[in-house]
Amino acid sequence: MKTRVLTGITTTGTPHLGNYVGAIRPAVAASRRDDVDAFYFMADYHALIKSDDPARIERSRLEIAATWLAAGLDPHKVTFYRQSDIPEIPELTWFLTCVTAKGLLNRAHAYKAAVDKNTAAGEDADAGVTAGLYMYPVLMAADILAFNANKVPVGRDQIQHVEMARDIAQRFNHIYGREFFVLPEVAIEEQVATLPGLDGRKMSKSYDNTIPLFSGGQKHLREAILRIVTDSRLPGEPKDPDSSSLFTIFRAFASEAESAAFRQALVDGIGWGEAKQVLFERIEVEVAPMRESYDALIARPAVIEEILREGASKARAIAAPKVAELRDAIGLRSGVLVAPQAAAGKAAPKAGKPPRFASFRDSDGRFRFRLFSADGEELLLSQPFADPKAAGALQKRIKEQGASSAIVQVQPLSLSLELDGEPVAASPAYADEAARDQAHARLREVLAQLAALD
Ligand code: TRP
């Protein structure tokens, strides 16, 4: 069963060791699993809420993209893109805004914290609060819902936002009377370590206690490690591994056996200076090769740009038909005259014939079917079945669930359709990726058309 996993990274900073261990490394590992269809993107519209410094946002977008790629993200397997390259996201944000209760947004933690702070300072409750901050959860809901994400891995501070995305999706589904949106679930990685920063508190940009991952190179990494706060025990005195940040960080990079050896060295009284050198060398084993790719990527922004553009086109192949379907559903159908029955409240068929299935028996006697678009383009060929009834049942499922819960897997030059984690049909081969992506958009549209037929 393939699960669509989606998460965003706000582009306001430079990734540090805590981001790497807590978010990047587990996300890259998850993206390699065969049962995961990962969507990772740079939340640069969200960045505008936090920062009005163009140079910082631009720099951060580049650094974050290079970091994820250097950390092993495979842009052919994953859909990796920038939020601001997907015009369907702000479009969907507006549709969702119009069904979102203002009271729901009043309860968002980030907004409430700003109001509480103002109130405590005797200021107007909304002083310094932009509508962008207020709308943050709706934009995030659009990020998630545009792609029918099943799981959203986030930090604990974001759980409420994912819950709001569910609320908003349910509200929209209810108002417009169909399961337009998959209800996303939050995913919290319990086993992933939270790294302490230089001062022993959680490593975080807001505490200014971070250890850089790549920026500043090996030299900065080493200098930062030397600044990690320790107690004043001298070399030769036993150290307590369990209260030492050095040990916590070491463990996040090392095997059980290496960690046991480091623990023993601390108990045996290794000096803090030497312990820091051991930690630095262990981190370098993992970070040095990635840093090399990072530096190579940063030096060639055009390569990153190309990867992100391809990612955006894969992402839009899903978001565009989705938003088109929603436009139709909410009364913003474009390009066709409103047919009388549509005015009477019934979905109007698309101009011309509907898409159709054509069943046949192949040379070894098994039953298959093809799915053709209204204008006769072959979009899918089904798996073979021994029993014609099974083939018929699959047609019914594609019709009923295709638009909402099928996953279209993008192969190098073709597409395949999965229902409930099973591959059920495949497209013809396409000449190139652009042709494949266009066919992807048409397939999504046809699935939506099928769902709308009665
Ligand atoms: N708000 C998230 C954060 O600050 C980033 C984000 C934006 C996001 N859109 C998202 C995360 C959608 C998950 C899904 O961490």
Find all residues with CB under 8 Å of 134, minimum gap 6, and list them. Answer: 105, 108, 111
Instruction: Give the separation between CA 423 and CA 418, rounded to whole angstroms.
Output: 4
Same topology between domain 3-191+301-314 and domain 205-297: no
The terminus-to-terminus CA distance of the chain in angstroms comes to 28
**421 burial type by CB count under 10 A (0-12 exposed, 13-18 middle, 19+ buried):** exposed
Instruction: Give the separation between CA 247 and CA 7, rounded to whole angstroms.
Output: 30
Q: pLDDT at position 65, please?
A: 98
Q: For residue 118, report the phi and psi dihedrals to the nearest 5 degrees.
A: -60, -45
Whether 152 lines ligand 1, by a CB cut-off of 6 Å, is yes
Of 83, 143, 205, the one to substitute when testing ligand 1's pocket (max ligand atoms within 8 A of C-beta) is: 143
Ligand 1 centre and the CA of 185: distance in Å?
Answer: 13
Atom of ligand 1 nearest to the CA of 139: 9
Whether 427 lines ligand 1, by a CB cut-off of 6 Å, is no
pTM listed for this prediction: 0.76
State the pairing for strand pair 79-82/36-43: parallel
List the chain pLDDT tens, one digit each, 454 residues.
799 999 999 999 999 999 999 999 999 999 999 999 999 999 999 999 999 999 999 999 999 999 999 999 999 999 999 999 999 999 999 999 999 999 999 999 999 999 999 999 999 999 999 999 999 999 999 999 999 999 999 988 999 999 999 999 999 999 999 999 999 999 998 878 889 999 999 999 889 999 999 999 999 999 999 999 999 999 999 999 999 999 999 999 999 999 999 999 999 999 999 999 999 999 999 999 999 999 999 999 999 999 999 999 999 999 999 999 999 899 998 654 454 444 444 444 445 678 999 999 988 899 999 999 988 899 999 999 999 999 999 999 999 888 877 888 888 889 999 888 889 999 999 998 888 888 988 998 899 889 888 7
Whether 19 lines ligand 1, by a CB cut-off of 6 Å, is no
Which class is 205-297 in CATH? mainly alpha
Whether 7 lines ligand 1, by a CB cut-off of 6 Å, is yes
Ligand 1 centre and the CA of 402: distance in Å?
Answer: 27
Return the domain boundaries, the chain.
Answer: 3-191+301-314, 205-297, 340-453
- Which residue, among 180, 183, 172, has the nearest Cα to 98 in the 3D structure? 172
Ligand 1 centre and the CA of 7: distance in Å?
Answer: 6
Whether 114 lines ligand 1, by a CB cut-off of 6 Å, is no
Ligand 1 centre and the CA of 81: distance in Å?
Answer: 13
Of 161, 166, 204, the one to substitute when testing ligand 1's pocket (max ligand atoms within 8 A of C-beta) is: 161
Ligand 1 centre and the CA of 145: distance in Å?
Answer: 12
Ligand 1 centre and the CA of 42: distance in Å?
Answer: 9
Under DSSP, the state recorded for 229 is -
Whether 18 lines ligand 1, by a CB cut-off of 6 Å, is no
Q: pLDDT at position 351, please?
A: 54
Atom of ligand 1 nearest to the CA of 149: 14
Ligand 1 centre and the CA of 152: distance in Å?
Answer: 9
Atom of ligand 1 nearest to the CA of 43: 7
Q: What is the DSSP string of 89-141?
A: HHHHHHHHHTTS-HHHHHT-HHHHHHHHHHHHTTS-TTTT--HHHHHHHHHHH
What is the CATH number that goes with domain 340-453? 2.30.29.80
Q: pLDDT at position 334, please?
A: 64
> Secondary structure of the chain: what % helix, strand, coil (to 5)?
55, 15, 35
User: Domain 3-191+301-314 is of which CATH architecture?
Assistant: 3-Layer(aba) Sandwich (3.40)
Of 64, 158, 181, the one to substitute when testing ligand 1's pocket (max ligand atoms within 8 A of C-beta) is: 158
Atom of ligand 1 nearest to the CA of 136: 1
Whether 143 lines ligand 1, by a CB cut-off of 6 Å, is yes
